[in-house]
Each structure stands twice: as structure tokens, then as C-alpha cells.
């Protein structure tokens, strides 16, 4: 069972990466290109020599981006199948496709939206190279804290089901999550390294593109994996294996 789910999770991750690439190509890459031309214009105005290209722009926006999205998709697809397996039957008695959609929504908010709101993604030319260590540390710390907050909220929700019922316990869990995240937001330092003359439009569109790419990835995980998991559980998709008797 777990083996089938993990394989499907990783395959769905690849499918998610393919869709994410389409979104990245049409929404993200134009903004990256604008940000890079801003960076180059600034460097030229300051009289700096252009840096040698280790990897050409063409490779970066095709193979490089495809590789990054595919690796990210397979990794999250695998992890998603584990999260699904742990959640299924334990967050209410939903059908597999409902559990899958709920886990994807929770994952998207916890792993991406919460860090996005505090430390939004930045295009090239935004961000001081000297602070990359601090910024990366803060970003990953926030992801971990957000996951812990979700774990705590989920635990609280499960404890309250008997007293409040499924719906109200779920809402309380969401409330607990929001409160913990607000406290984390207040405690963690803010970062603003956007150059004064950087286009606000490019920045806004770049960030929306990033949001769209991640939303596409998580939506594909949630919906496509749900359909496949449904078949794993009902046995209709397992034509190659003999159906286990009595289950």
C-alpha cells in the first residue's frame, strides 16, 4: 500500500513540475528577464565589468529550471504521499481524494504561503549577496516553525473532535495555527532589501508568478494524487496485481 502511494506521489510530483514549468515560462521568466536587465544596466552604470556566464541564460531558463522544478516536484510528491498516508482516516473519515485535497491545501499554506507572506520571493537584483546566509537561514527556519505550528494545531484539533465535533474542531485548529503564525511573524526579523529604483510592477508580478507556480504544483499534487489514491484504495487501478482476497 505505502509502496504504491509513494510511487504515485513521485510521479504526480513530476506531472506537477511539468505544469509548473508552463506557468513559470509564461508568468515567471519574463519578470526574471526584466530583473536581470535592470541588474545589468545598474552594473554598467557603475562601471563594473560583466560577470562571466557559468551557465547561459538559455540553459538556466530551460534545462536548469526544468531540473529544479522536477527535483522539487519529485521530492515534494514523495513527502506528500507520506503525509497523505499519515492523514488518511485520521483527520476524519473522508474519501481518499478529499484527504488528498485537504493535505495539499495544508501543505501549500504551511510550507509556502506562510514563509511567502513574511519573506516573499525576490527576483535577481533584489537582495544583498552579503545577507544570503541570514536570509536563507530565516527562510528555512520559518518553514520548520510553520510545520511545527501545523503539527500543534492538528494535534489540538484531534483532541477537540470528541468535544466540538469535526467541523468546529477543524476551525479551532485553523485558529490555533493562525495565532501561532502571527506570534512567529512578530518575533522573527523583517527583511527589506529592494533597491529604491527597482520596478514595483516587476517585483509584484514576479511574486505573483512564484505564487502561481507553487499553487499549480500543490493543486496538481492534491487533485491528481487524490484520483490515483482513490484507485489504490478501491483496487480499480491495480490491474497488474491480483486483488487481495477478503479486503
Partner 1 sequence: MANVAVPSARPVSLRIPVREIVPWAVFTAVLGLILIYFVGAEQGAVSIISGHTVHEFVHDGRHLLGFPCH
Q: Which of 34, 38, 76, 110 binds partner 1 (CB under 8 A)?
A: 76
Distance (Å, whole) CA 115 – CA 139: 7
Q: Which of 22, 71, 148, 243 binds partner 1 (CB under 8 A)?
A: 71
Burial code (b: 16+ CB inside 10 Å, e: under 16) for 95-123 equals ebbbbbbbbbebbbbbbbbbbbebbbbbb
Which residue number, 65 or 181, has a Cβ lying nearer to partner 1? Answer: 65
Inter-CA distances, 90 with 47, 98, 168, 214, 230, Å: 61, 12, 16, 26, 16
Does 166 sit near partner 1 (CB under 8 A)?
Answer: no
Q: Which of 140, 155, 167, 185 binds partner 1 (CB under 8 A)?
A: 140
Structural contact between residues 124 and 32, judged by C-beta atoms closer than 8 angstroms: yes
The site string for partner 1 over 212-241 (x = CB under 8 A, - otherwise) reads -xx---------------x--xxx------
- Cell for 21? 514549468
Structural contact between residues 16 and 217, judged by C-beta atoms closer than 8 angstroms: yes
Which residue number, 174 or 193, has a Cβ lying nearer to partner 1? Answer: 193
- Cell for 132? 544570503
- Cell for 56? 547561459
Does 95 sit near partner 1 (CB under 8 A)?
Answer: yes
Which residue number, 77 or 176, has a Cβ lying nearer to partner 1? Answer: 77
Which residues contact partner 1 by CB under 8 A?
1-3, 6, 24, 28-29, 32, 53-55, 59-61, 63-65, 67-69, 71-72, 74-76, 78-79, 81-82, 85-86, 88-90, 93-96, 112, 115-116, 119-124, 127, 129, 132-133, 135-137, 139-140, 206, 209-210, 213-214, 230, 233-235, 246-247
Amino acid at each position: 500500500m505505502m509502496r504504491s502511494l509513494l510511487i504515485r506521489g513521485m510521479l504526480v510530483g513530476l506531472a506537477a513540475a511539468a505544469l509548473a514549468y508552463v506557468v513559470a515560462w509564461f508568468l515567471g521568466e519574463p519578470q526574471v528577464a526584466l530583473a536581470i536587465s535592470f541588474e545589468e544596466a545598474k552594473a554598467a552604470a557603475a562601471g563594473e565589468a560583466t560577470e562571466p556566464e557559468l551557465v547561459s541564460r538559455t540553459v538556466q531558463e530551460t534545462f536548469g529550471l526544468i531540473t529544479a522544478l522536477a527535483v522539487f516536484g519529485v521530492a515534494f510528491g514523495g513527502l506528500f504521499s507520506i503525509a497523505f498516508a499519515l492523514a488518511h482516516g485520521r483527520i476524519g473519515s473522508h474519501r481518499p481524494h478529499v484527504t488528498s485535497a485537504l493535505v495539499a491545501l495544508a501543505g501549500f499554506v504551511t510550507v509556502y504561503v506562510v514563509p511567502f507572506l513574511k519573506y516573499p520571493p525576490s527576483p535577481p537584483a533584489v537582495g544583498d549577496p552579503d545577507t544570503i546566509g541570514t536570509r536563507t537561514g530565516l527562510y528555512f527556519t520559518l518553514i520548520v516553525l510553520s510545520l511545527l505550528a501545523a503539527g500543534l494545531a492538528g494535534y489540538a484539533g484531534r483532541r477537540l473532535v470528541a468535544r466540538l465535533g469535526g467541523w468546529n474542531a477543524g476551525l479551532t485548529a485553523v485558529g490555533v495555527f493562525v495565532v501561532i503564525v502571527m506570534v512567529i511573524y512578530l518575533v522573527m526579523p523583517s527583511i527589506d532589501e529592494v533597491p529604491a529604483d527597482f520596478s514595483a510592477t516587476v517585483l509584484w508580478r514576479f511574486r505573483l508568478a512564484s505564487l502561481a507556480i507553487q499553487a499549480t504544483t500543490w493543486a496538481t499534487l492534491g487533485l491528481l494524487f487524490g484520483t490515483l489514491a482513490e484507485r489504490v484504495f478501491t483496487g480499480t487501478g491495480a490491474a497488474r496485481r491480483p486483488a487481495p482476497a477478503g479486503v
